Structure 1
Amino acid sequence: MNSTQVKLVQESFAKVVPISEAAAAIFYDRLFEVAPAVKAMFPDDMSGQRKKLMMMLAAVVNGLGNLESILPAASALAKRHVDYGARPEHYPVVGGALLWTLEKGLGEAWTPDVAEAWTAAYGTLSGYMISEAYGRAQAAE
């Protein structure tokens, strides 16, 4: 990720913050639509989970300018996700649901450059998380 992409992710996320509750609901609805099997990994009451998602996204987005500052938390999160049943192949599905949600939430502000920046951010972080949780060989697949 370059500094322009970091800025695009941060500026676009600032537009999502006011609709964070709706965005989180849309994200999980989309995730469960495209990957219904993962729904069993989540609680019946998703209100707390939706808040955790948005807090985690905010922390990651705010830390993108200093990636090293968020890597320990990303590593811990990745390892916890293994205990929940997450597998490496879930990461692209989650990323697709996230990008889809951002596109819907941002509307016209979802430009090709913003899409590319978010794709780069998610790719960087998910690759790191997969390598932390499952080893480098899994992250390369």
Structure 2
Amino acid sequence: MTPDQITLVQRSFRQIEAIQERAAGLFYDRLWQVDPSTAPLFSKSDMALQGHKLMAAIALVVNGLNRPEVVIPVAQDMARRHVAYGVTRAHYASVGAALLWTLGQGLGEGFTPEVEGAWTAAYELLSAIMTEAAYPG
């Protein structure tokens, strides 16, 4: 990611944080529409708590984009745990689609092509790190 992309992601995320409860709800609703196979993964979850965990994880990654030495090991560990919950490699594409859609909803006109490109780059990088850790080889 370029420094400009990192800045775009971090600035735009501040707007999402302001509506984080709504954003989390939008995200999970969209995820289940895009990929119904993900819904059973949350059947026993407190979705309010899950939404807080989601937003905290995104904040950790976004705020750490300038410090990959901190973010990468956390993302790798999270990916390994997700395997035990039933997350598959294919789910990463569904999550990415739901995330970008949610950002578009939350940012409205602020979700410019440049912002979308920056978030896409960030998610592709994170997804690659996580899938490599979760499914080596």
Asked if these proteins are the same fold (TM beyond 0.5), I'd say yes
Partner of 1:93: 94
The CA deviation at 1:16 is: 0.7
Q: Determine if the alignment matches structure 1 residue 32 to structure 2 residue 39.
A: no
CA distance in 2, matches of 1:54, 1:20: 7
TM-score (norm 1): 0.94
The CA deviation at 1:44 is: 4.6
Partner of 1:49: 50
Partner of 2:12: 12
CA distance in 1, matches of 2:40, 2:31: 12
RMSD between superposed Cα atoms in Å: 0.8
CA distance in 2, matches of 1:64, 1:130: 18
Q: What 5-or-longer segments of structure 1 have no aligned partner?
A: none
Matched letter for residue 68 of structure 1:
E
Residue identity over aligned pairs, in percent, reads: 50
CA distance in 2, matches of 1:36, 1:46: 16
TM-score (norm 2): 0.97
Matched letter for residue 29 of structure 2:
D
Runs of 4+ in structure 1 over 3 Å off: none
Partner of 1:127: 128
Matched letter for residue 26 of structure 2:
I
Alignment length (residue pairs): 136
The CA deviation at 1:34 is: 1.2
